Amino acid sequence: MRASGPKKGAADAGPDGPNAAEPREPVAAPAPGAGKPAWRAWARGVRRAWAAAPGRRAADESTLRAWLAAWAPWREARLVLVYVAFGDELDPVEAGWRAGDAPGPALATTRTVGPGKPLEVRAWREPFERHPFGFLQPPPDAPAVDLEAIDLVLVPGLAFDLHGGRLGHGQGHYDRLLPRLPGRVPRVGVTLDALVVDRLPTAPHDAPMSHLLTPSGMRTARTR
């Protein structure tokens, strides 16, 4: 399920938090050595251009779900932590998986409870409630999920690199959440092929991905 676009004044908001206004048009990829703000501006431009072509978006998301459904760790998982796509994020979750009408694991997702507080992990329960920033999330009575029971996690991001580096919105929610999961859990960054680059600027606290999923397929992140 994809949340509707951000409300006026809440551009690029999401579980990683609201962000300052960025240029509206796609820009050239940053030069080597550029900082995270430049990479965020570029990635947002690329995603806006992609989202403006509805036919391409639908085709890419369908392909993405087919790759995921064919991947053995997904088929073997009992519980997967996924995100609720917001705005121009790729939506990797098949409707049948949410409803239990198609083969696949049970789903959990995150709930944002307040500034400075860690993301909660709750069972996927609809109808969702709308957060003040515009994105959808489970209601307060959705059951809490034991993090030790999670077998796989799908992670949103503005961009990723071939070595598993992730560029988020800058609030660090996933960087704090992912280390709380068991070390055996595959961390799958979901994005467009155009938003996978050789190297992104990273910090020691940035949680790396083990895999990347794009419309061209699933790949294992390179060792840094």
pTM comes to: 0.86
End-to-end CA distance of the chain: 34
Range 19-23, long-range pairs (CB < 8 A, 24+ positions): 19/169, 19/170
φ, ψ of residue 26 to 5 degrees: the values are -55, 145
Looking at domain 31-220, what is its CATH homologous superfamily?
NagB/RpiA/CoA transferase-like (3.40.50.10420)
| Tens of pLDDT, residues 190-220 | 999 999 999 999 989 899 999 999 999 999 9
| Tens of pLDDT, residues 130-151 | 998 889 999 999 999 999 999 9
Alpha carbons within 13 angstroms on the beta-carbon side of residue 128 total 25
